[in-house]
């Protein structure tokens, strides 16, 4: 399976960060689909996941409100992070999760900078 992120690389403070992940080589109707971010020079942080069944879960430690949704007709899933601040500047990865087990596939990542 291949994953590819797309979306703006620059977002202004207090605005909404929106990214889309396009999945190819496999159906989005299986597995769990996730967003993981990595601030510059820091470790990885899981943000949340969505499943075809409608099940979703966000990391409660995130300060900004998160919505992860899926469009099965396009084999895509999306991230919206609202009211962003400079602390949300990071490389954002979309990823596939084998629930309860491991992250087994990653997109190439996209850098999003929050700045006016």
Partner 1 sequence: QSVLTQPPSVSGTPGQNVTISCSGSTFIIGSNYVSWFQQFPGTAPKLLIYRNNQRLSGVPDRFSGSKSGTSASLAISGLRSEDEAEYHCAAWDDSLSGPVFGGGTKLAVL
Distance CA 34, CA 46 (A): 8
User: Shortest Cβ distance from residue 44 to partner 1 (Å)?
Assistant: 4
Q: How far is the CB of 2 from partner 1 (least distance, A)?
A: 11
Handedness of CA 88, 90, 96, 99 (dihedral sign): negative
Residue listed under structure tokens 């020079």: 41
Q: In angstroms, what is the minimal distance from the CB of 48 to partner 1?
A: 7
Binding of partner 1 by 31 (CB under 8 A):
no
Q: How far apart are CA 33 and CA 111, in angstroms?
A: 19
Residue ranges that bind partner 1, judged by CB under 8 A:
34, 42-46, 48-49, 57, 59-60, 93, 97, 100-109
């Amino acid at each position: 399976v291949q994953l590819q992120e797309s979306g703006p690389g620059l977002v202004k403070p207090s605005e909404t960060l929106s990214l889309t992940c396009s999945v190819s080589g496999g159906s989005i109707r299986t597995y769990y689909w996730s967003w993981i971010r990595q601030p510059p020079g820091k470790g990885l942080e899981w943000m949340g996941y969505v499943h075809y069944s409608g099940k979703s879960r966000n990391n409660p430690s995130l300060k900004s409100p998160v919505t992860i949704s899926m469009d099965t007709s396009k084999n895509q899933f999306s991230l919206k992070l609202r009211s962003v601040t400079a602390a949300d500047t990071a490389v954002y990865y979309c990823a596939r999760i084998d629930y309860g087990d491991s992250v087994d596939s990653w997109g190439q990542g996209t850098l999003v900078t929050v700045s006016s």
